[in-house]
Amino acid sequence: MPLRAEYPEVGDLVVCSVQNVKNFGAFVSLDEHEGKEGFIHVRDVATGWVKYIRDHVREGQKVVCKVLGVDAERGHIDLSLKQVNEHQKREKIQDWKNEKKAEKLLEIVGTKVGKTLDQAFSEAGEKLVGEFGSLYGAFEEVAANPDALKEVGLDKKWAAAVHDVATENIEIPSVTIDGLLEITSPKPDAIDHIKKSLVAGLGAGKSTVSIHYVGAPRYKIAVSAEDYKTAEQELKDAVDRVSSSMEKVGGAVSFRRKEEK
């Protein structure tokens, strides 16, 4: 299934399986480029002097390397292990796992419409990658937004199968932030005004807003969204709605952030 170019490009990060370790370097296979092998010279294994190369790399290990050079004619790929930091390694491994999962999901899509994996890619996968940048990104976007496939140009049977598989297998990532509201009112019917203000706080935004009683006069307000920027804005808007509602009846609202998770 032609999901990737035959060879990586210089500067790419690639997931590799270590095949053979020598004193002068390590030979690896490139997991994302079938049949391609690369070499990590000992000088590119780690910063500083490497006394024992197996202290840093060993047979059977999964590593993330940076591509230093590609000689397609010789089939030679030079790689560096030391030029990849821990953050890059974690992100690359996660991306690689996501794409492996996406290929399995596309296979399920193909089964639903009676096609092989290769047929699924040529008839649907290529369009998904072209529209969303990656196969996993496509499934993730469809799971979050059922209308995401409208402009892709997929046949109805393919679109239906992709939608079903995405919603059944992809859990949309989210973040939750929260804080404490303190609501006071001098009115004798204060409780009614507070209830109305809390209902206003729930609103109808894109994110999930919840408000729970903690103990007079405090209420916990929490917002779940796809990312922190959206969550922060939704939380601010919710607090503003509560404050505006209470201020109209002479009440007061204070807010402080509690935690993030």
The answer on 17 and 75 residing in a single domain is yes
Mean pLDDT computed over 126-137:
90
The answer on 92 and 77 residing in a single domain is no
143-200 pLDDT, tens digit each? 878 788 888 888 899 999 999 999 999 887 777 889 999 999 888 888 899 999 999 9
Residue 7 lies in a domain: no
Question: Tokens in use for 103?
Answer: 């290929």
**Residue 225: CATH number of its domain:** 3.30.70.1130
9-27 pLDDT, tens digit each? 999 999 999 999 999 999 9
Sheet with 175-184, edge to edge strand ranges: 208-215, 218-225, 175-184, 252-260
The answer on 156 and 111 residing in a single domain is yes
pLDDT at 85 over 90: yes
Q: Measure the CA–CA gap between 231 and 229, rounded to whole angstroms.
A: 5
Residue 158 lies in a domain: yes
Number of domains in the chain: 3
Residue 8 lies in a domain: no
The answer on 190 and 147 residing in a single domain is no
Residue 122 lies in a domain: yes
199-249 pLDDT, tens digit each? 998 876 556 889 998 887 899 999 888 777 888 888 999 999 999 999 999
Could you tell me which of 108, 110, 127, 130 has the C-alpha nearest to residue 119? 110
**Residue 101: CATH number of its domain:** 1.10.150.190
Helix or strand run (H / E) with residue 30: strand 25-30
**Residue 19: CATH number of its domain:** 2.40.50.140
Residue 75 lies in a domain: yes
